[in-house]
Structure formats: C-alpha cells, structure tokens
Structure 1
C-alpha cells in the first residue's frame, strides 16, 4: 500500500468553507470518514475552533451553493444534504451527502475512476488549504489521477503534491521516520508545545524551510505514533530508544 498526499488551495470567494477558515486561522476541519461510489459521496467532518467561528462554519456548510467536495463551480444540480450531528462549545460534527449528476465531479470520484476501488481518504483543512491523504494499492497510476484532477480544477484552485510513499515506512534509528523525528525535535526546542507557545506553526515552518502543511503533517503523524504506542504498551521505548532501561 502507498499513501498519496496533496493539497488544494482555494482563492478568496471560491469556497465558503475555505473563506471561513481563512478568516479564523485557529479553526480546523478534519474528516472522520469519507466514502464514495460512482453515483454518490458522503462524509463526516469534525471542526474545532471558537464558538463564533463554528457558527460561521455551520452557516457556510448550509449555503445552498455549497456542495461538499464538488469541483464544479457553477450549479451542478446535485441534491446535497447537510446535517449537524453534534455541537459543543468548541467542536462541530457535520454530515454531508450528495447524489452525483452528469456534471458533478470531486476528488474522491476522480480517485475512484483513475485509481480503482479500495481507497481510504483522510482530509484536513486549515485556512484556504485543503489537504488530502489517499491510501491506495501499489499498482495504481498516480500520474493518471493528477492529469484528471488538473483537468477538473480551474484557475481558482491550486494543487500541490506533498508526498507519495509506502504506508508505514521503515523507521530511522530513533524509531520514528527521520523527517518526523526532526520536525518533533525542532518543535520542542523552539517552544511550540509550551503554554503559551513561543512559536507558531507558520514561523516554525519558515525557520525549517518547509511548507506549513508539510510540517503540520509530519508533526501530526509523529504525535499519532507516540500516542498510539503509549496507549498500547504504556511505553514509548519502541519509538524512542533512549527511553529503554
């Protein structure tokens, strides 16, 4: 299995959810599930942020012109259903579903048509940036997918390729993949994890000379590995050898 990671970047006024996130940089949206068939798409998203931002985000999801993930800028005629599943002070869980019309297309539909079945989707949104992670089989031709995606994305949306690699790459000497280990060490040494933070993600990314989305991805993967290892074994020794007795 391989993972393909790329990002879409929306211009102002082209996506209501992206506009809200850009106006509220402390607010993020990540997918809890995302599913696609040839005729439909449905997903559940978790948004986190302050109450005012979540209220604006809920309104953006409910706009009649907004159809989750549809790349068609004009009215595609799709019947889109949006429902809030849960709402708390700083979290919002939203379910969306739509039936595809003859003109509808989306990242998952293009992936299904060019990469085949059995795909896993994971998304993360902050600001105008919409990052996709697709887990796919080794035989899929990624170039065909990007050619099809480029043909559907207009000038209002940029595409950036971030990563194509085997799932669960071999760890480095320190347990975690070296790029994740380096990002984590730099974040700790720069005060990113202190309260209050001495540096924000954008500043750290600039210091390291990497895109903000790439640094965010590496830190999230490292944090997930460390948290999983601790919950499963009660120890981080397998990932951080210097902790071994």
Structure 2
C-alpha cells in the first residue's frame, strides 16, 4: 500500500468553505468518513471551533453555489445535499452527498481515475489549506493524478505534495528524525535558527513564513507535523526503555 499526502492552498474567493475557515482561524474540519464511486460522493465531517465559526462553516456547506469538494469554481450542475447530524456549542457533524455532473471533478473522483479502486481518504481543513491523505494499492499513475489535480484547480489553489511513502501500520515505530520530509525538516530548522522556540519568541510564524517564502498555513502545518513526529518518537523511546513493571 502507498500513501499520498498533499495540500491545496486556496486563493480568496475560490472556495467558500476555505473562505469561511480563513475568516475563523480557530475552526477545523476533519473527515470522519469519505467514500466515492464514479457517479457520486458522500462523506461525514467533524467541525470544531467557536459558535460563530461553526455557523459560518455550516452556511458555506449549505448555501455554496457549488459543492465544497468540487474543483470547479462555479456551479457545475451537480446535485448535492448536506444535513446536520449533530450540533453542540463547539462541534458540528455534517453529512454531505454529491451526485456528479459531466462538468464536475473532485479529488476523490480523479483519484479513482488514476489510482484505482479500494482507496482510503482522510482530510483536514485549516484556514485556506485543505490537506488530503490517500492510501492506495500503489499500482496507479501518481504523476498523472497530480497533473489532473493541478489542471482542474488552475490558479485557484496551489498544490503542495507533503509525502509519498509506503503506508505505515498504526503499530509501526515512529521514523528516525532524519526521515522527516525535507520541507518539514527545513521548517523545523528555520524555526530553531530564527528563535521561534525561544521564550519569548524572537519571531512569529507569520514573519517566519515570509522569510521562507511559504504561506503561513503551510508553515504552521509543517511545524505541527514535525513536532508531532518528534513527540511520538520521544514517547516510543521512553516506552522501549521503561522496565516491565513501569509499562504495566
């Protein structure tokens, strides 16, 4: 099995969900379930954030001129339906169904075309960054897949590939520090060198992103992933050196 991780960084006005999240940076969306056939797509998403952010995200899903997963930038004639499955003060669960029209394209459907059947999808939305993780059999045409994504998003979003690896088992030990993807390693080194981890900080993430020439959301994601990797590695090491009685 192979794993693809990539992100789409949307320009303002190109995706109403991205616009809503950008206006409410405390909000996050992650997919709980996502399935696609050649003709349709359905998914369940979990949204977190303050009440006003949840209202804005819900409105974007319910009233957008085109479905949030469609890579078109205007109404493409698809039939869509969104329902609220659960709602609380700081969480929202949305069910969405999308029936394709000939002019519609989406990441899952392009993946079906170029990567084959039996795909697993996971997504996260933060600000204007829409991150996808796809696990596939490894027999498809990955380059053609990314070319098709770029062709469909046009100038509305920047495509950035984060990882192309063998899919890891949940039980696999974390990788060595040197196995960090180059862009995460570069971000982490720059953060240390510019004093991002000093107390008080000598640079904020916005200034650091400008220095590196990347969007703020992209740098935030890279640092978060690198920090998570190092934290997981540290915990794994402590467990491996703990005595049997400590582990119990």
TM normalised by structure 2 equals 0.78
RMSD between superposed Cα atoms in Å: 3.5
The 2-side partners of 1:97 and 1:201 are apart by 40
The answer on 1:47 being equivalent to 2:47 is yes
Q: Report the alpha carbon displacement of residue 117 of structure 1 after superposing the two structures with TM.
A: 0.4
Corresponding residue for residue 223 of structure 2: 215
Q: Deviations over 1:172-219 (max 9, x none)?
A: 7xx554239x87xx99x9499xxxx9899947985xx78322233344
Shift of 1:66: 3.3
Give the direction of change, closer, same or farther, for the CA distance of 1:60–1:237 in structure 2 (3 Å limit): closer
| Match in the other structure for 2:74 | 74
User: Is the alpha carbon distance of 1:53 and 1:199 closer, same or farther for their aligned partners in structure 2, counting shifts above 3 Å?
Assistant: farther
Compute the displacement of 1:104 (Å). Answer: 1.0
Q: Give the direction of change, closer, same or farther, for the CA distance of 1:77–1:5 in structure 2 (3 Å limit).
A: same
Cα distance in 2 for partners of 1:168, 1:5 equals 13
1:5-34, Cα deviation, whole Å (9 max, x unpaired): 111011111111111111111111111111
Once the two structures are superposed, the pairs formed by residues 87-166 of structure 1 within 5 Å of their partners are 87-166=87-166
Q: Which structure 2 segments of 5+ residues have no match? A: 213-217, 244-248
Moved more, 28-37 or 141-150: 141-150
SS in 2 for 1:138: coil
TM-fit CA distance, 1:221: 6.1
Give the whole-Å Cα distance in 2 for the aligned partners of 1:203 and 1:57: 24
Q: 1:163 to 1:88 in 2, by over 3 A?
A: same
Task: Report the equivalent of 1:21.
Answer: 21
For structure 1, the residue ranges without an aligned partner over 5 or more in a row are: 227-235
Query: Could you say if the C-alpha distance between residues 151 and 237 of structure 1 is closer, same or farther in structure 2, counting changes exceeding 3 Å?
Result: closer
- Alignment partners' CA distance in 2, 1:29 and 1:45: 7
Secondary structure class of the residue paired with 1:89: coil
> Is 1:237–1:243's contact at 8 Å kept on the other side of the alignment?
no
Judged with a 3 Å threshold, the aligned counterparts in structure 2 of structure 1 residues 163 and 50 are, in CA distance, closer, same or farther, namely: same
CA distance in structure 1 between the aligned counterparts of 2:239 and 2:133, rounded to whole angstroms: 29
User: Within the alignment, does 1:31 sit opposite 2:31 as a pair?
Assistant: yes
TM-score normalized with structure 1 length: 0.78
Q: What is the rounded CA distance, in whole Å, between the counterparts of 1:95 and 1:199 in structure 2? A: 43
**Paired position in structure 1 for 2:58:** 58
Alpha-carbon offset, residue 100 of structure 1: 0.6
Matched position secondary structure for 1:168: coil
* Number of positions where the alignment pairs a residue of Structure 1 with one of Structure 2: 226
Which string of whole-angstrom CA distances, capped at 9 and with x for unpartnered residues, describes residues 127-153 of structure 1?
111011111122222101011112211
Query: Secondary structure of the residue that 2:70 maps to in structure 1?
Result: coil
Instruction: Decide which moves more: 197-206 or 36-45.
Output: 197-206
In structure 1, the partner of 2:83 is 83
